[in-house]
A and B are shown apart, each in its own frame.
Chain A
Amino acid sequence: MIAATPPAPTHPAPTPPRPLASYAIVLVSAAALALTGQVSTLALAIHAVAVIVSLRLRNHPRAWQRNATLLNAGLLGAIGVALALWLRGDLALLALAHFAHLAQALQLLDARPRRSDFLLVALALFQMVLAANLTDSLFFPPLLLAFLVATVWTLVVHTLWMETIAAGEAWSPQRAFAPRLMRTTLLASAGSVVLALVIFLFLPRLHSGALVSGGGIVGAAAGFSDRVSLGDLGRIRRDPTIALRIETLRGVAPPPEQAYYRGLAFDHFDGRHWSVTPAKRDPLAITADLGVRVGRSSRESDLLQRVLREPVASGVLFGAARPVQIEGGVGRVERDRNGGLYAPESSEDRVQYEVESETSQASRAELRSDRALAPERDGERYLAMPPLAPELFALSERVTSGAGSDVERVEAVERWLREEGRYSDTPPPDRADDPRSPVERFVLEHTEGHCEYFASAMVMMLRSQAIPARLVNGFAGGRSNEVGDFVEVSRADAHAWVEVSFEHAGWVRFDPTPPDLRLRTSHAGMLAQLRDVAGAAEHWWFRHIVEFDRSDQLRALRSSWLAWHRWRDGQTAPTAAAPRATRTGWRDLAWLQSARPAVATLLGAVLVAALVRWRRRRARRGPLPVAYREALRLLEGERGLVRDAAMPAREFARQASRAIPPAAAAAFWTLTEDYLRERFGGHRPAAPRRALRALRDSLRR
């Protein structure tokens, strides 16, 4: 039956109700904005009401939904709200988010004839973009995925609808929604995701900082700046937010009770505040994308860890033991006089970097023969003390009286504090009217305190005995995530400890805080496992998507390059020049090399099978037999002879014979007769390839 195409319509066709997929888009984008937690409840409620009303009146819209004045007034209202928020001092992003949210609600209620739903989709996309700026939640990717599927479906349906209306035909969803349309949509969505991930990997990262949206995500942890007050760390320790995620890439990570992630070291104490003197920092590199050496140690690093750090005041970079080298998209790297590392551009950002550390520490026997000695340069600052009560000096003298060596004196103080100190994460507040330092009260009055008090007391007690020492803060402990094979370090793991300077061993760590009191208890069971799974998923999301940066791109390129060279050169053992390649999955290609013939054979077989399958499928395709179709293509390609569909095959052969060489004509006659026999008689031709070859040779001669 022939369907006549009607003339173009002179009046607009009735607009069909919005597809349900549009509502899915709207809900998903609204959920993404709600996820940020920064859109007001009122705006969310208005949007929800609009969705419900629009859904209820979807098939029978009311007159007011077509009232342009009313709708335009609503739009002006949305603009007004956004302007008011902006003028009030809120972030421009937030004002835009409110506008997009309210405008989308209005668009849902608008039942005027429309050309398409693209505006709705564009508004939803805008909301997703805003949400991307305001959150990095793990729930964002599933919402993005749902948004993708709903968008694909909505756009496909609307394209079909628009085209049908443009052609002047009546819209019939039953006719349009072919059985495979949903499958096509899902495949298209899956294809989009795969393609997007590939594009995502290769899009050039031109910005040195990986994430600037962090400002609105989580607050930077205070207490890690170059000047801290006693008690700052205690406040941090009450916060269970994740601060670091640490993967060990090379070497053996210490168990949690011995794991220390060094942040800053402080030398100057005024009785209430610790600070770094002088405050000047040395710039090390303007970027650490390709790695920057940060340590002065001449020994080889024996531990390589990847650290995912949440925002931290001053952009402090943490590393286990003595960091030697840092690599990652952290921007400019600086070092203070106490070896503290900073990435000042990243203080508001979550950053990811790899840190190589040197973990070896002098044994107690070695230390016994060593002596505590301040560094030659500015060493006196590690012995400086604020005016403290003489009782503290006396106490220190008494505690260390029986020790024979410096290290024994240090251990005596450490032991005394562990035994006598009263640990509490909520020490009594410092009284402004009390001239005594909190450290004095902690030591002499046996008040409660947390690690910062223990460490401060130990430093003061050691310095009173002319032993150079400094306070170090950072994180210690953490919780191992078995699913993701990394360590989660929360702000509650913030810790302070002590470093003592020895003549030969350098700075050696001592920790006067009782470990059983500072360490978190680990939970077991189903809940803990679920938590591990969620933590691992979040880590993967941050690690591979949110924090994927230029440094990762360069590293991947380098790994590929090294792997390629190793493959080409036939190396089987990792070389010193390619340590990264060995640890990033290209561990050993020897098995592949030995299996090369087998792999080649397998690939060849797969290729041949694919080729055969392709040819069979090609042969089945179309109404014409393969050989005849090939012959027609040859005639068209070589001589420009085209057979009209209405022309009988023999007539075409007769006419074509006049325009081609006799040998080609004979071959084509054979093919034509074969075709007719096959088409109408069901006989398979004996040797169509030979005739086809003769035709090709003759035409090309």
Chain B
Amino acid sequence: MGDPRNPGRRGRPALVAGLRRLSLTARLRRALRPPRRLRPTRAGWLFFALVFAIGFAALNTGNNLLYLVLSLLLAFLVLSGVLSEAALRGIRVERRLPFEWAAGRGARVVLEISNAQRKTWAHAIVVEDCGHAPGDAAERAFGRAFALRIEPGSTESRSYRFEPQQRGELRFAGFRVLTRFPFGLFAKSLELPREAFVVVYPRIAAQRPPARRIGDPRAAREAAGRGSFSTEVIGLRDYARGDAPRRIHWLASWRRGQLLVRETQGTAGGEALVELRTRSGAHGDAFERDVERAASEAEAGLRAGLRVALRTDDAEFGAAAGAVHRARLLGYLALVQPDPADAP
């Protein structure tokens, strides 16, 4: 994750969860939160009305057969609670997030729903993945997954597609696991906190590489598309994520036992500078358009094999190439905000 306050700090691209420390209030909230939530369905309300009516009739008449029917209905209620609890109790959910996320581009989130119980089957499990989307104050479900049944001790994988609309930090709060099993009278749910933070890159549009170049003009010209790249290999380097597979030198990789990619003259020589004004006074949509333009330029430059530098009014990234550098740039651009001092 690129940290806008510390641009040079290296982090995992897109996602870092792992170790976290719950605040005292969060722990208190978690301790006080009811372990289960119960919401009657429409059929459940009808059932309640029936129970009430039969209960009234039984009390009024003293008819023991009505008492018996009433007892059965009440037993049904209890049993519904027990069975739904049995279905939910062993449910564990893990989330597998996509490698990277950009605004306007959907990606699939994989949910691994497992039933940790030894004997009890879990039926009709609905998992909602909840959190805060960038720019969204209210918590909402990003997507839901359904498992009709999960055998004891097994795991079912489901996925849902989510398309963030804005760049920024996508915060996953946890899962709401819900079931209407066994009788459909109640929707019982529990919350499984599983926080994760994802940086959503700015929207990236198809664009030519940036016009402002530094370094060898010939390479820059070639990189800008006015000529073809030089195919002269000037060396090999370790493979990094994002490198095109066609650049992999398979023979050398086989000899070394690790992936190596070719460095051509064009990729080594050309540099481009992407600029973003954070103190220009642009805010709101205008600033977002600037950020998207910068991200698109950086992406295009890197794809073209250029070494791309980024300069803003607050920070500067030196020219570099490769997947890690790309993650640093896009991560920074995902979180950068205009200087509040220039707000209109």
| 5 A-B pairs with the lowest CB-CB distances in the bound complex, closest first | A207-B62, A167-B146, A640-B22, A132-B65, A195-B75
Contact residues in A for B38 (Cβ distance below 8 Å): none
In the bound complex, CA of A202 to CA of B181 (Å): 28
For residue A38, CB closer than 8 A to chain B, the reply is: no
A397 to B315: give the CA distance in the assembly, Å: 137
Contact: B110 with A2, CB < 8 Å? yes
5 A-B residue pairs with Cβ-Cβ distance under 8 Å, sorted by A, are A5-B146, A156-B182, A191-B79, A191-B82, A199-B71
Q: Does A125 contact B50, Cβ atoms closer than 8 Å?
A: yes
How many angstroms between the C-alpha atoms of A362 and B91 in the bound complex?
78
In the complex, which residues 498-549 of chain A have their Cβ closer than 8 Å to any Cβ of chain B?
Answer: 545-549
Are A164's CB and B66's CB within 8 A? no
Bound CA span A163–B149, Å: 11
Q: Decide if A319 is an interface residue (CB 8 Å cutoff).
A: no
B110/A116 in contact, CB under 8 A: no
Are B181 and A156 in contact, with the CB atoms below 8 A? yes
Query: What residues on B are CB-neighbors of A156 within 8 Å?
Result: 123, 181-183
Q: Does B69 sit at the interface, judged by CB under 8 A?
A: yes
Q: Residues of A contacting B63 with CB < 8 Å? A: 132-133, 211-213
Contact of B126 among A140, A163, A197, A655 (CB under 8 A): A163
Q: Closest residue of chain B to A185, judged by CB?
A: B182
Contact partner of B121 (CB less than 8 A), chosen from A116, A178, A206, is A178
Tell me whether A640 and B21 are in contact (CB under 8 A).
Answer: yes
Known: A3-B157, A158-B184, A191-B79. A203 touches B62 (CB 8 A): no
Q: How large is the interface on A (under 10, 10 to 19, 20 to 34, 35 or more residues)?
A: 35 or more
* CB of B83 closer than 8 Å to a CB of A: yes
Q: Mark interface residues in A152-194 (1 if CB within 8 Å of B CB, else 0).
A: 1001101110111011010000011010110010001001111
Q: Mark B53-82, 1 if CB is under 8 A from A, else 0.
A: 010011111111111111110111011001
Bound: A132/B69 CA distance, A = 8
What is the CA–CA distance of A242 and B117 in the complex, to the nearest angstrom?
Answer: 55
Check: B46 CB closer than 8 A to any chain A CB: yes
Interface residue from A3, A5, A205, A645 paired with B143 (Cβ < 8 Å)? A5
Q: Cβ of A155 and Cβ of B183 under 8 Å apart?
A: yes
Query: Any chain B CB within 8 A of the CB of A429?
Result: no
For residue A620, which residues in chain B have a CB less than 8 angstroms away from its CB? 118
Q: Which residue of A lies closest to B20 (CB)?
A: A642
Given the contacts A132-B66, A144-B72, A159-B180, A213 and B61 also touching, CB distance less than 8 Å:
yes
Whether B66 pairs with A547 at a CB distance below 8 angstroms is: no
- Verify B146–A621 contact, CB threshold 8 A: no
CA distance A133 to B65 in the complex (A): 7
CA distance A240 to B331 in the complex (A): 93
CB-CB nearest in chain A for B62: A207
B124 within 8 A of A: yes
A545 to B64, CA, bound (A): 7
Check A167 against B126 for contact (C-beta < 8 Å): yes
Contact of B268 with A by CB under 8 A: no
Most buried by B among A136, A166, A195: A195
Within 133-189 of B, Cβ neighbours of A (below 8 Å) are at 143-146, 148-149, 151, 156-161, 180-185
- A659 → chain B closest CB, angstroms: 7
List A residues at the B interface (Cβ < 8 Å): 1-5, 116, 118, 122, 125-126, 128-129, 132-133, 136, 140, 144, 148, 152, 155-156, 158-160, 162-164, 166-167, 169, 175-176, 178, 180-181, 184, 188, 191-197, 199-200, 203, 205-213, 545-549, 617, 620-622, 639-647, 651-652, 655-656, 659
| A212 and B61 within 8 A (CB) | yes
Query: Shortest distance in angstroms between B261's beta carbon and chain A's nearest beta carbon?
Result: 27
Count chain A CB atoms within 10 A of each CB in B17, B116, B123, B143 and give the residue with the most. B123
Closest to B143 in A: A5
Query: Is A213 touching B65 in the complex (CB atoms < 8 A)?
Result: yes
Bound form: Cα–Cα A315–B160 in Å: 71
Q: Which of A1, A188, A206, A655 contacts B18 (CB 8 A)?
A: A655
**B19 within 8 A of partner (CB):** yes
Q: Describe B's contact surface by its main secondary structure.
A: mixed
Closest to B64 in A: A546
By the criterion CB–CB under 8 Å, are A116 and B184 in contact?
yes
Residues of A within 8 A of B316 (CB): none
B188 to chain A, nearest CB (A): 12
Name which residue of chain B comes closest to A155, CB basis: B183
Tally of contact residues, B, Cβ under 8 A = 66
B83-A184 in contact (CB<8A) = yes
Q: How far is the CB of A187 from chain B (nearest CB, A)?
A: 9
Give the docked Cα–Cα distance between A549 and B74 (Å). Answer: 19
| A contact residues around B156 at 8 Å (CB) | 3
Closest to B149 in A: A178
Residues of B within 8 A of A128 (CB): 69
Q: Is the CB of A163 within 8 A of B180?
A: yes
Do the beta carbons of B65 and A160 come within 8 Å of each other?
no
Closest chain A CB from B178 CB (angstroms): 10
Instruction: Determine which of B18, B144, B160 lies in contact with A652 in the assembled complex, contact meaning CB atoms within 8 Å.
Output: B18
Enumerate chain A residues within 8 angstroms of B185, measured Cβ to Cβ: 155
B residues 66-117 touching A (CB-CB < 8 Å): 66-72, 74-76, 78-79, 82-83, 94, 108, 110, 116-117
Cα distance A181–B124 in the bound complex, in angstroms = 12
Q: In the complex, are the beta carbons of B182 and A159 less than 8 A apart? A: yes
Q: Give bound CA distance, A178 to B121, whole Å.
A: 9
A164, B146: Cβ atoms under 8 Å?
A: yes
User: Which residues of chain B come closer than 8 Å to A133, judged between CB atoms?
Assistant: 61, 63, 65-66
Q: Is the beta-carbon distance between A203 and B118 smaller than 8 angstroms?
A: no
Of listed B71, B94, B108, residue having the most chain A CB within 10 A: B71
Is the pair B72, A647 in contact by a Cβ cutoff of 8 Å? no
Contacts of B237 in A (CB 8 A): none
Does B289 have its Cβ within 8 Å of any Cβ on chain A? Answer: no
* A148 CB contacts on chain B under 8 angstroms: 72
Are the CB atoms of B184 and A122 closer together than 8 Å?
Answer: no
Write the nearest CB–CB distance from B320 to chain A, whole angstroms: 27
Q: Nearest residue in A to B117 (C-beta to C-beta)?
A: A621
Interface residues of B in 300-335 (CB under 8 A from A): none
Are A192 and B79 touching (Cβ within 8 A)?
yes
Residue of B18, B26, B27 contacting most chain A CB atoms (<10 Å): B18
Contact A162–B180 (Cβ < 8 Å): yes
Q: Which residue of B lies closest to A651 (CB)?
A: B18
Residues on A with C-beta less than 8 A from B159 are 2-5
| Contact partners of B71 in chain A: CB under 8 A | 195-197, 199-200, 203
Residues from chain A with Cβ under 8 Å of B27 in the complex: 640
Query: With A197-B71, A200-B67 in contact, do A1 and B79 touch (Cβ < 8 Å)?
Result: no
Q: Tell me which of B22, B123, B144 contacts A5 (CB under 8 A).
A: B144
Is B43 an interface position by the 8 A CB rule?
yes
CA gap between A184 and B79 in the complex, in Å:
11
- Closest Cβ–Cβ distance, residue A205 to chain B (whole Å): 6
In the bound complex, how far is the Cα of B20 from the Cα of A655, in angstroms? 10
Q: Tell me whether A196 and B74 are in contact in the complex, defined as CB-CB below 8 angstroms, given that A155-B184, A159-B182 are known contacts.
A: yes
In the complex, chain A residues whose CB is within 8 Å of the CB of B61: 133, 207, 212-213
The complex places the Cα of A589 from the Cα of B187 at a distance, in Å, of: 48
B50 touches A5 (CB 8 A): no
Bound CA–CA A197/B83 (angstroms): 19
Which of B61, B64, B83, B185 lies at the interface centre, i.e. has the most chain A CB atoms within 10 A of its CB? B64
Chain A residues whose C-beta falls within 8 Å of the C-beta of B20 in the assembled complex? 640-642
Given contacts A207-B61, A645-B94, contact A152 B182 (CB under 8 A): yes
Q: Which residues of B contact A652 (CB under 8 A)?
A: 18-19
**Given A203-B71, A212-B61, are A5 and B145 also a contact pair (CB < 8 Å)?**
yes
Measured CB to CB, the closest approach of chain A to B291, in angstroms, equals 29
A118: which of B43, B62, B79 is its contact (CB, 8 Å)?
Answer: B43
Q: How far is the CB of B233 from chain A (nearest CB, A)?
A: 37
Q: Which of B69, B70, B74, B185 has the most CB of A within 10 A?
A: B69
